[in-house]
Amino acid sequence: GERVTASNLAIGLKEQAGRSEVAIRKALFAFREAGRPDQSDVGEYVARLERTRLSKFQPCLPPQLEQGFLAELLTEPEVARGVVAQYLGSSATVAQDEGLPIPEKP
C-alpha cells in the first residue's frame, strides 16, 4: 500500500511510497499522471489549516466560501504540478534504469 498526500508546502509519502528513492519516483510519476495536486488536495489542505484571519471580512463568510477564499489566497496547485514535473524531468536516467516512463520536459 502507498499513500501520497500533498499540501502547499510538501508532498507526504507514507507506508510503502517512501521506502526507497525508486518508490518515491514511482509515487511522484503516479502523482503527476493523475494531475495532482488538484482541487481536492487543495480542499483537504485548507480544511486542516488553523484558522488565521486574512481579511477583515473573513468572519462574515460562510464556511464553504471561507474555504474557497483561503484556497485561492494560500495555494497554487498549478505551480506545485510544475515543480513535480520539473523534478521528474531531471530524473530521466533513473527512470530509464528502473523501467519507468521517461518524463517529457515541461
Q: What's the pLDDT tens digit per position in 17-71?
A: 677 777 777 878 888 888 888 888 888 888 887 777 888 998 899 988 988 888 8
Write down the pLDDT at residue 76: 84
More confident site: 102 or 8: 8
Write down the pLDDT at residue 41: 84
Nearest-angstrom CA–CA distance, 38 and 45: 11
Write down the pLDDT at residue 90: 58
Q: Where are the domains of the chain?
A: 2-97
Tell me the pLDDT band of 93, cut-offs 50, 70 and 90: very low
Average pLDDT over residues 70-94: 76
